Amino acid sequence: MINIKDLGAVGDGKTNNTAIFNKAIPKDSKIVVPPGIYLTGPIRLRTGVDLHLEKDAVIVFSDDFTLFSPVKSRWEGVECFGYSPCIYAENLQDVSITGTGTIDGNGALWQQEFKKLKQPVTAMDNEFVKLNSGIDLSDCGGGGIGSFFFRPPLIQFNNCRNILLEGFTTRNSPFWNTHILYSKNVTIKNVTFQNPNDGVNGDGLDIDSCDGVNIFACNFDVNDDCLCFKSGIGKDGMRVNKPCENIIVKNCNMLRGHGSVVMGSETAGGIRNIELSDCVFNSTDRGIRLKSRRGRAGTVENITLNNITMNGVGCPIVMNLYYECGAKPEEIAYLSDRNPQPITNTTPHVKNIKITNVIASNAQSAASVFLGLPESPIENVLFDNVKITMAKDCKPFRPAMAFGMEAMKGQGLIADNVKNLIQRDTIIQVS
């Protein structure tokens, strides 16, 4: 066991402890962070390391962009170069972050720069332009600027095995809060994910092309999607071809966010075999949120949702294959067309969704929205013992970010291009 104070770390919130943190992480060590505020640049984990934060310990990251050297990973569904994650683990095994302390991304300046930058202005910006030359970023989502300024996630595990995240709080990320990528055998429990209201792309936890993930008793309060499952976008996601699969989620709480539990919109490698149970969603824009569109490819299948309680959610259940965000102007006519298009290897598919024992109270816009494609209907959806009650004072809201969908309030179930939708013991009470 190594206490970072014994190596000279100073927890005054001012002293830069970057060298101490990275020196203090040899292989197979428990690194203890005692109470205090420890300012640092990026931290690289190593195999066998347990980074343990004691109560009242805070790791806060510098917002000096030059400290964050480029790394290549996946950024919103496309493999490219971006700024190093604040805490980064690559090609490791048996690695963990534990304890009841806090990891703070200090992301405000990153967010400010993202909102105002339109073109490269620094040497680092131009370096990213060079590194990403030749990489097709046209499918990349709306969180990047051209081929530079790909903000860092607060925590990223890339191609790791046997991961444990337990007990701590993460907050104020420059981008996604925690990103688990190409990894296997992951356990995440009793972790709190927070991001401020005014952030952009502040997802809580993104599970991206992983196999074997258990998520228990976690809490989410973010400005974008809370818990997300992804598997790459379009051509690059199809090239990588790694599904997100075999995932169990239990006893989690979602407060605020665009969606509570979200699949997509990066679906190219497929998303399958997900079991979600015993969760509570409060005041999120959407509850269960599935999103993709023509060109993003992949199949979302074998999803089981059981014993879910929602309150004040804008639209409790959304499955949307007309997802509009990030579409290029020249694509919109094709992506939004309600007429059948030829089925190709880039056509997304959704099937085998089982939703049981759900109570949703005070919903706002619509009880549920299912928007399949005419050439690829959503197939085999079961509602069993589902009760959705609309609020008496509904506020207009767009239930799905879909082409052509307007704000609405107090509507029931909306279904278009759905095959074999079965409802048993289902009650929908509109206002």
How far, in Å, CA of 377 to CA of 295, rounded?
15
CATH number for the region 2-429 comes to 2.160.20.10
Task: Give backbone dihedrals phi and psi of 65, rounded to 5 degrees, phi first.
Answer: -60, -30
Q: What pLDDT does residue 122 have?
A: 87
For 31-44, the pLDDT digits (tens) are 999 999 999 999 99
Pairing between β-strand 70-75 and β-strand 78-83 as defined by DSSP bridges: antiparallel
For the entire predicted model, the pTM comes to 0.97
Q: Cβ–Cβ contacts within 10 Å for residue 180, how many?
A: 25
Out of 206, 225, 236, 258, the active site residue is 258
Q: What pLDDT does residue 304 have?
A: 98
Burial of 98 (0-12, 13-18, 19+ CB in 10 A): middle
Q: What pLDDT does residue 162 have?
A: 98
Task: Give backbone dihedrals phi and psi of 23, rounded to 5 degrees, phi first.
Answer: -70, -30
For 106-138, the pLDDT digits (tens) are 999 999 998 888 888 889 889 999 999 988 887
Q: What pLDDT does residue 422 have?
A: 97
How confident is the chain (431 residues) per 10-residue block, as mean pLDDT?
94 96 84 98 96 98 96 94 97 98 97 87 90 86 73 97 98 97 98 93 97 98 96 95 98 95 98 98 97 97 98 97 93 97 98 98 96 98 97 93 95 96 94 65
Buried b (16+ CB within 10 A) or exposed e, 383-408: beebbbbbbeebeebbbbbbbebeeb
Q: Is 179 marked active-site?
A: no
Q: What pLDDT does residue 121 have?
A: 83
Write out the DSSP string of 84-139: PPSEEEES-EEEEEEES-EEE---HHHHHHHHH--S--SHHHHHHHHHTTT---TT
Write out the DSSP string of 32-61: EE-SEEEEES-EE--TT-EEEE-TTEEEEE
Q: Is 224 marked active-site?
A: yes
Domain ranges of the chain: 2-429
Out of 104, 139, 208, 224, the active site residue is 224
Pairing between β-strand 427-429 and β-strand 57-61 as defined by DSSP bridges: unpaired
Bond from prior residue into 265 cis (ω within 30 degrees of 0)? yes
For 91-109, the pLDDT digits (tens) are 999 999 999 999 999 999 9
Q: What pLDDT does residue 23 have?
A: 87
The structure tokens 């409790």 sit at: 316
